[in-house]
Chains A and B, each alone.
Chain A
Amino acid sequence: AQKVTQAQTEISVVEKEDVTLDCVYETRDTTYYLFWYKQPPSGELVFLIRRNSFDEQNEISGRYSWNFQKSTSSFNFTITASQVVDSAVYFCALSEAGNNAGKSTFGDGTTLTVKP
């Protein structure tokens, strides 16, 4: 069965600090997809990034970067020079390509608070 663990329930940082959100996953499939979503205080979940299991290349998008390591089954998310607007709940999710294709398993989320 697939499982996503976000061990950090809450993180609080001061603006301009770097912060890393951890995500560890479990799956038996060799083909799978990993995602990060952001849920700001307004409530709507917003897709941030998708990675497939064959692409371990790290990605950078502005102040956001993602580190995918199959060897440790981790897909961590780093925000550089955090800003107050980054305050949100961040969810990591896993989708398998097998019988449950299309369905994502979400972690419990990490609440990030960035203080001015």
Chain B
Amino acid sequence: DAGVIQSPRHEVTEMGQEVTLRCKPISGHDYLFWYRQTMMRGLELLIYFNNNVPIDDSGMPEDRFSAKMPNASFSTLKIQPSEPRDSAVYFCASSFGLAVSSYNEQFFGPGTRLTVL
């Protein structure tokens, strides 16, 4: 089975440009998470969805960041406008909810390495 798929794997852009990161979760998973990882701040949860509905976006750094999940098989994280401090690896992860299964480990995608010049 395919794991979590993220695209692009690498993105280099200039400050002020719009960046869109994409994620396809594992089929059947009802939770989807977006994380950001940097050396300075470690692994940060930005937002997560349950059944396509955003549950907690308190980790989204500012209004420049937005995330959507239009259906169970696709999510986007958008940064507009991008800034150099947004440079990081962005991970998408998915899992089964506790209501469905007692196993709720998260399965991570390979990440998108974003560099904003």
Contact = CB atoms under 8 A, between A and B. Distances in A.
A102 B50 contact: yes
Given A108-B42, A109-B42, A102 B97 contact: yes
Interface of A is mostly: strand
Interface in B84-117: 89, 91, 93, 95, 97-99, 102-111
Interface string A74-110: 0000000000000000010001010011111110110
Size bin of chain B's contact surface: 20 to 34
A43 B105 contact: no
Q: Is the interface of B mostly helix, strand, loop or mixed?
A: strand
B12 interface: no
Contacts of A33: 104
B43 A106 contact: yes
A94 to B, nearest CB: 12
A51 B109 CA distance: 22
A44 B105 contact: no
Contacts of B42: 106, 108-109
A24 to B, nearest CB: 16
Interface of A: 33, 35, 37, 43-47, 50, 52, 91, 95, 97, 100-106, 108-109
7 contacts: A43-B110, A44-B108, A44-B109, A50-B105, A102-B97, A102-B104, A108-B43
